[in-house]
Chain A
Amino acid sequence: MSSGTLYDKVWDLHRVAELPGGATQLFIGLHLIHEVTSPQAFSALRDLGLGVRHPERTVATVDHIVPTTSQARPFADPLAEEMLATLERNCAEHGITLHGLGSGRQGIVHVIAPELGLTQPGMTVACGDSHTSTHGAFGAIAFGIGTSQVRDVLASQSLAMNKLKVRRIRVDGVLQSGVAAKDLILHIIRMLGVKGGVGYAYEFAGEAIEALSMEERMTLCNMAIEGGARCGYVNPDATTFAYLQGRPQAPVGDAWARAVEWWRSLASGPEAVFDDEVSFDASLIAPTVTWGITPAQGIGVNETVPTAAQLEPDERPIAEEAYRYMDLVPGAPIAGTPVDVCFIGSCTNGRLSDLRAAAAVAQGRQVAAGIKAFVVPGSEQVAAAAEAEGLDAVFRAAGFEWREPGCSMCLAMNPDRLEGRQISASSSNRNFKGRQGSANGRTLLMSPAMVAAAAVAGHVVDVRELLAAPAAAGASRPAVVGTPG
C-alpha cells in the first residue's frame, strides 16, 4: 500500500468520513461541469429536493456541442441549443459561474480551468468527463465521474470513492527533438496497455517529466485515462508555480507565498512508498502514431503495423478487429498511410504550445490537395493568444481552416465529423471505432506537429524528416521548431 505520495497526502486531507459500504467520502475541492453530463444531475437534484452545497466551488463552461464555424445563438442544431440553454438555466438557478461563449473565458473545460488558475496543486478535482485527469498536471488528484456522481458533488461537494493504488512511472533521459509529450504518453500506453492502469493512479516522475512545460504535463496526464488510470499526476515544482502565478484565480500577496510553501510540501518525498514502479528512457521514444482502434495500438512512425504473430496472444483478437476496421495491412509501414482529414485541437492538444508546434510545421508549406485540415483552439484565450502572435494567419496561409474553440471532432458532438470511411490524422485522444462521428470513420492519433506534417504531405510522415527539408521558397522558417514551450 502506498504511503507518503502526493496522492496519499491529498487523499487524507480530503477525507470526510468512512462510509458503511467501505468507501471513503472524499471532499471535492473543484467541480467542473459542462452541458453534456450535467443536465440529468440537476434534474436528479431537483427530484431529491436538494440544492447545491458549494456553488462557489463549481464552475461551468460549454464545450462539447458548440459549433466551431458560427457560434451565433440560437445554434442551428436545436438539440445543441437546448443543452446550452439548460446549462445556462441550471447555473443561473443555483448561482454557479458559467464561462459562456464570447465571455473571453469559454473553452474546453480542461483547458480553461488551468488557464484561469482554478486548478491548483493539492486539490481534488472532479468533472463529468474522463479527461479530468488533465488537472493532475498541477499535482491535483483529478478524475472523471459519471452523472450520478455529478449529482452527488452538487449536493454534498463530496463523493464516495475507493482509494487507488499508486504506480510511479519514471521517465529519465531527454526527449529527442521533434518528439512531443503526446508521443511520450502514446508510448507509455503502448507499453502498459489500455488496461494496465485500472485500479491505479499514475505518478509521472523523473527528469524527462520535470523538463516538461505545464502544457506538456497536461497532455501527459490527460491521457492517463487512456491507459486505464483514472487519474495521473505530476508533483508540483517551480514550473507549476511559474505557470500559476498571476492567473485570475491564483492566490496573491502573502497568500501566494503560503500557497507555494504548502504546495511544495505535497510532493511525494524520498520516503514515499509506491505500489508499483515502471521506468522508461525518453531518448528511445519516436514520434508515435496509432494504427488501430485503441490508444495502445500505437507504433513509432518508422515502424510497421504489427502482425498478429508479433503480438501477445491476448492482444490478437482486438488487433484482428483493428486490421479489418482500419483496413491497414499488418507488416506494412504506417508512414505513407494516406489521410483525408487533419484535426488539430482537443483537451489533449488544443493549447497555445500545441498550436505553435503545428504552426512551425505549417509555416511556408501548403496543405496537400484534397485534404481537409482545420485547427480548433482549446479556448477563447488560446485563440486570442494565437491570433496575437499570428498563428491563425500562418495556418490560413498554409490552407488550414481556423475555427472557434470547442471539443469539435475529438468526439464529433458538433457538426465537425468524419464522413464515411475517411481517415483522420488527429491530435485528440481516442481512436475508438466511430469516435469521430462516422460509424466507420478511422482515426490515427499523433502529436499536433505530426498532424500538421500529415496535412502537408497528404499522408503519415515523420515530422522530423519533413522539417529537415526546406520549406517553400521565400518562406521564413521559424527559429525554433517542434519544441513547444
Chain B
Amino acid sequence: MRSASSPAASPVPFPIGAIRLCRGQAVAVVGDDIDTDRIIPARFLKCVSFEGLAVGAFADDRAELGGDHPFDHPEHQSASILVVNRNFGCGSSREHAPQALMRWGIRAVIGESYSEIFFGNCLAMGIPCLTAGHDDVLALQQAITTDRAAELVLDLEALQVRLLGSPPAERSWPCSLAQGPHRMLVSGQWDGTSLLVAHDEALRLTATRLPYLKAFEDGSIS
C-alpha cells in the first residue's frame, strides 16, 4: 500500500515537456461511469494544496473491497498506466481526481471514453487519456490482470499500445487521441498558460468587442 504509507513518494517524475511515449506497468479499474467522487471522495478536497491527495485515490472503493481493489494489489504498486472503460471521470470537475491518480503514480490513461472535464484536467497536467475500442480495452484489461507484471508501452506518435514481456508474442492494439490534444502533448505545449497570456493584444481586442463590457454600445454581432 505504497500510497497510504508514503503519499508523496512517486517513483516517476511528474510530466514535463513533450509526452511521446509512456512505458510502465498497468492497472485496470473496471467499470463504466466511474465518477470523480469515487476517484476521490469529497472529504479529501478539504485542502489548499494537491500534495497529499494520493491517499484519497479510490479511497472508499478500496475500503469497501478490503484490500482487494487493484490499487491495493502489491503487484500494481509500481503501475503508471491506468486502463479504464467508458465515461471514466464523469461528474464533478474536481482536478483533485487526476491529481490524486498522478500522485499515486499514474502517468497515462487508456480506456473506452472519458468525461470531457476529466480529459481536459488530465491534459492540463500532461497526462494523456488515450481511447481504444471496447473489445481492445477488454483484451488489454484481461492481459494485465492475468500478468500483473506485464509492461505496457503507449506510443503517442504511432498511436499504438503494446504489451511487452508477455510470451509468446508481443501484442498491440491501435488507440486514438483527438488531434488537438495529440499535438499539444507530443509537442510539449499542453501546459498552455504562457501561450494564452502571450496573446495580450488579441485578448484586449476581444474584450473591446464584447457588448457587455462596453455598456452594450454597438451590440451587433454580424
Contact = CB atoms under 8 A, between A and B. Distances in A.
Interface of A: 9, 12-17, 19-23, 25, 27, 29, 36-37, 39-40, 43, 48, 50, 53-54, 64-65, 77, 79-80, 82-83, 86, 120, 122-123, 128-130, 132, 144-149, 151-152, 155-160, 162, 194-195, 198-199, 225-226, 228, 230, 251, 255, 258-259, 261-262, 265-266, 294, 314, 317-318, 321, 411-413, 430, 432-435, 437, 439-440
B74 interface: no
Interface string B37-70: 1100111011111100000000011011000000
A432 B38 contact: yes
Interface residues of B, number: 68
B192 interface: yes
Contacts, number: 224
Contact of B215 (A40, A194, A251): A251
B210 A29 contact: yes
Q: Which 4 A-B pairs have the closest CB atoms?
A: A262-B219, A22-B180, A148-B124, A146-B121
A413 B125 CA distance: 25
A425 to B, nearest CB: 19
Contacts of B95: 37, 40, 128, 146-148
A440 B64 contact: yes
A259 B189 contact: no
B210 A439 contact: no
B160 interface: no
Contact of A437 (B32, B43, B45, B117): B43
B60 A195 contact: no
Given A17-B202, A122-B211, A162-B180, A317 B31 contact: yes
Nearest to B118: A146
B193 interface: yes
A40 B50 contact: yes
Interface of B: 31-33, 35, 37-38, 41-43, 45-50, 60-61, 63-64, 86-87, 90-96, 98, 113, 115-117, 120-121, 124-125, 178-181, 183-184, 187, 189-190, 192-197, 199, 202-203, 206-207, 209-213, 215-217, 219-221
Contacts of B215: 251, 255, 258
Contacts of A79: 46-47
A230 B91 CA distance: 10
Given A13-B209, A259-B216, A228 B90 contact: yes
Given A37-B94, A148-B124, A162-B180, A434 B41 contact: yes
B32 A130 contact: no
Contacts of B217: 258
B46 to A, nearest CB: 4
Given A48-B193, A155-B196, 16 more contacts: A17-B199, A21-B189, A22-B183, A23-B184, A25-B195, A37-B94, A40-B95, A79-B47, A80-B46, A129-B92, A146-B124, A148-B95, A156-B193, A411-B92, A413-B46, A430-B35
Contacts of A86: 48
Contacts of B38: 432-434
Contacts of B117: 130, 144-146, 230
